[in-house]
A = this chain, B = another copy of it.
Amino acid sequence: MPDDTKLHAQDGDVVLLVGVKHKNHLFRLTAGKVLQTHRGEIAHDDLIGKPWGSVIRSHIGRTFHLLEPTLAELILELPRRTQILYPKDIGFILLTIGAGPGKRVGEAGSGSGAMTLALSEAVGAGGHVYSYDSHPDSLDLAEKNLDRFGHPERVTFRQADIEDGLDAADLDAFFLDVPSPERAVPAVHGALKPGGGFGCIVPTANQATVLIAALEATSFAFIDICEVMLRYYRANSERFRPTDRMVAHTGYLVFARPVLA
């Protein structure tokens, strides 16, 4: 039986209000607070206790849907300083590096915390995430986003230049999203357990070629490189066709495993 409290928005829940044309508001419900939107005000107290999926009206009568955000929506709505990773890439990465329940995983950099959020959800209460970034501003934002929307107790943030080595060891998986990933390869090799799952995203083909060479030089095997393309269609049963434009590229995904010689 489902916990009945899960069917209604509760004080402290993260909610997504979706307006017309999918203009969205992501926030944590706090008794007494009021949300200001371009389409009117909404008191948090009016949302607490409402069933998920309800239609909500602002004080000027504009309508919104009250939704419990999925991980994909959280990621897309996350406050960010830099380009974030897309769900199309994150979903495939989690499965491919083996970032499942109970695993101890690392990542660098923390960025805006999108991948940190996904990793901390994927490893569950029994796992842990070590998140490294050399920029205090990125760490700050990532921590703030985890506090607001995720499981901060599952994440250890560290300001560190990953090229200097990592204090974590025997990790099950590691994800790398830094400007020069090839320089981090030895440190990541040292932090991963043999046979662990390594993943990396790089925007350019030049970076991919340099990374491949670094992985081959550092006892990584099973190198796989790919790109994930996502094409949306119009939800029109009489005129079914792809949308006019799409994202053409987010990055090349590089996967490998450290092996024992």
On A, residues with C-beta under 8 Å from B are: 2, 6-7, 18, 22, 51-55, 65-73, 75, 87-88, 90-98, 100-101, 104, 118, 121-122, 124-126, 169-172, 193-197, 203-206, 208-210, 212-213, 216, 221-249, 252, 257-261
Contacts and interface: CB of A to CB of B under 8 A. Distances in A.
Contacts of A98: 68-73
Contacts of A248: 231-232, 242-246
Nearest to A238: B206
A249 B244 contact: yes
Given A52-B193, A243-B249, A230 B231 contact: no
16 contacts: A2-B169, A54-B194, A55-B260, A65-B195, A66-B195, A68-B98, A71-B100, A88-B92, A225-B233, A226-B231, A227-B230, A228-B230, A242-B249, A244-B248, A244-B249, A246-B248
A247 B245 CA distance: 4
A236 B212 contact: yes
* Consensus secondary structure, chain A interface: mixed
Contacts of A51: 194-195, 260
Contacts of A195: 51-54, 65-68
A235 B230 contact: no
A4 to B, nearest CB: 8
A209 B207 CA distance: 12
B104 A101 contact: no
A170 to B, nearest CB: 4
Contacts of A259: 53, 55, 65
B205 A209 contact: yes
